């Protein structure tokens, strides 16, 4: 008589084969799922940049001027180097990204009878003294940055920011107003679309064309603590970027694959305070390719190569002044990183530099 296997059972070998097949399918599908999720995050990032581009347009319509890269706010009396103030473009755009209540509350902190009174956005524990500054503004955040919704690690517990305002293709001194400089070669701060108070240019000053001039790009917010991870880290005290002028080559030389060739400094403020207008915190320049290192000449608050970075594969999103958004590859032409910055004329930093300069006589775009 022929033996028959009872119906409804599986042998151990069959179960192991099924489990192996399921594992293989999951292994094949997981990258596709992750890619789909990143595509969705990148689309949200693009939409946020479009919103910021529209906010700048609306601000200009209301004020007949572009918002300043650094300026005063309310009754704040703080002056940076005798010029302007510390508040960022992002702060002044709050009413134009549906955050007027946050903006109004921040201004109230600067009232003379307020205690403690707020003069600049880097004092105290914001969650205790100035809760509006601890607000997480989703319009300022890219979902591809895993740290974006977390409080800053700089001791202030501020809301973070992934979208940086353009300071053009300049470095020295892109954190100060030119009136604070005695050396004409340092007066390069106004190569971008956003200037430092008291300079408030209009769209008419962008002679290279609003569709050819970048206004916003991305950063990966600081991870906190020292380390060699390239994205979200910063090299400080890189004095070799100065030779009587400024050039970004020594910063580019700090790149070692996906890491830095030395530890970044501990006080990493990049993207950690959306209200702070200092270039190394909320600005970027177009002197090095996207996803290159970030380097400060002195401390975190000095000038330097404030490079655009993102966790998107192969480059960064960037919003032009006309409101359009494009993806800028990390292989974009950036000219000669060892060329000195210029005060006028064409940028020495290739197509990316040309996109950063607002009136360099270039119409080059990628």
pLDDT of residue 1: 46
pLDDT of residue 8: 61
pLDDT of residue 40: 78
Instruction: From 64, 109, 78, 129, select the one nearest 278 (Cα to Cα).
Output: 78
Looking at the chain, how many residues does it have? 366
- Report in angstroms the alpha-carbon separations of 319 from 82, 102, 103, 212, 231: 31, 24, 23, 10, 20
Phi, psi of 67 (to 5 degrees): -65, 150
pLDDT of residue 6: 53
Pairing label, strands 283-284, 163-166: parallel
Rounded to a whole number, what is the distance in angstroms from the first to the last CA of the chain? 80
pLDDT of residue 191: 87
- Burial letters for 283-315: b for 16+ Cβ neighbours within 10 Å, e otherwise? bbbbbbbbbbbbbbbeebbbbbbbbbbbbbeeb
The pair of three-digit structure tokens given for residue 254, joined into one six-digit string: 């700090």
- As a whole number of angstroms, the distance between CA 69 and CA 326 comes to 22
Helix (H, G, I), strand (E, B) or coil at 57: helix
Gyration radius of the chain's alpha carbons: 24
Instruction: From 49, 61, 51, 53, select the one nearest 323 (Cα to Cα).
Output: 53
Beta strands in the chain (DSSP E): 163-166, 214-218, 255-256, 259-260, 283-284, 295-296, 304-305, 315-320, 325-329
Q: DSSP assignment of 212-269, as one string?
A: TSEEEEE-PPP-SS---BSTT--B---GGGBSSSB-SHHHHTTEETTEESSPPPS---
pLDDT-flagged residues of the chain (< 50): 1-2
- As a whole number of angstroms, the distance between CA 45 and CA 317 comes to 8
Per-residue pLDDT of 228-259, as tens digits, reads 999 999 998 999 999 988 999 999 999 998 89
For the chain, which residues make up each domain, given as ranges?
37-356
Q: Is the sign of the CA dihedral 197, 203, 209, 212 positive or negative?
A: positive
- As a whole number of angstroms, the distance between CA 224 and CA 215 comes to 27
What does DSSP assign to residue 283? E
Helix (H, G, I), strand (E, B) or coil at 151: coil
Instruction: From 358, 334, 360, select the one nearest 192 (Cα to Cα).
Output: 358
pLDDT of residue 231: 93
Q: Is the sign of the CA dihedral 109, 112, 113, 119 positive or negative?
A: positive
Element containing residue 326 per DSSP (H, E): strand 325-329
The pair of three-digit structure tokens given for residue 247, joined into one six-digit string: 């050039």
Per-residue pLDDT of 81-138, as tens digits, reads 666 789 999 999 999 999 999 999 999 999 999 888 899 998 888 999 999 999 999 9
CB-based contacts of 350, cutoff 8 Å, min separation 6? 332, 333, 334, 335
């Amino acid at each position: 008589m022929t033996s028959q296997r009872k119906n409804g059972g599986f042998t151990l070998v069959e179960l192991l084969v099924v489990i192996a097949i399921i594992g293989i399918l999951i292994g094949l599908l997981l990258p596709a799922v992750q890619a789909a999720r990143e595509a969705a995050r990148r689309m949200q990032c693009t939409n946020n940049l479009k919103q910021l581009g529209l906010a700048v347009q609306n601000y200009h319509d209301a004020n007949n001027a572009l918002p300043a890269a650094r300026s005063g706010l309310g009754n704040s009396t703080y002056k940076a180097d005798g010029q302007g103030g510390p508040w960022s473009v992002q702060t002044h755009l709050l009413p134009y990204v549906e955050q007027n209540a946050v903006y109004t509350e921040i201004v109230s902190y600067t009232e003379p009878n307020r205690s403690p009174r707020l003069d600049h956005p880097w004092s105290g524990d914001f969650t205790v003294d100035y809760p509006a500054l601890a607000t997480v503004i989703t319009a300022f955040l890219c979902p591809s940055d895993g740290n974006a919704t977390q409080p800053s690690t700089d001791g202030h517990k501020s809301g973070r920011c992934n979208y940086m305002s353009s300071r053009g293709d300049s470095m020295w001194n892109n954190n100060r107003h030119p009136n604070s400089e005695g050396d004409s070669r340092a007066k390069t701060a106004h190569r971008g679309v956003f200037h430092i108070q008291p300079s408030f240019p209009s769209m008419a000053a962008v002679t290279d064309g609003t569709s050819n001039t970048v206004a916003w790009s991305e950063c990966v917010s600081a991870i906190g603590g020292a380390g060699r991870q390239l994205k979200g880290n910063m090299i400080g005290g890189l004095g070799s970027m100065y030779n009587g002028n400024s050039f970004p080559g020594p910063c580019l030389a700090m790149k070692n694959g996906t890491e830095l060739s030395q530890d970044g400094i501990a006080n990493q403020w990049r993207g950690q305070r959306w209200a702070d207008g200092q270039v190394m915190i909320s600005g970027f320049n177009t002197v090095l390719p996207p996803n290159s290192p970030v380097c400060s000449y002195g401390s975190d608050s000095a000038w330097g190569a404030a490079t655009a970075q993102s966790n998107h594969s192969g480059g960064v999103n960037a919003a032009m002044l006309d409101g359009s958004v494009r993806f800028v590859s990390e292989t974009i032409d950036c000219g000669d990183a060892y060329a000195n910055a210029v005060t006028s004329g064409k940028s020495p930093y290739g197509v990316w530099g040309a996109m950063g300069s607002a009136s360099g006589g270039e119409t080059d775009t990628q």
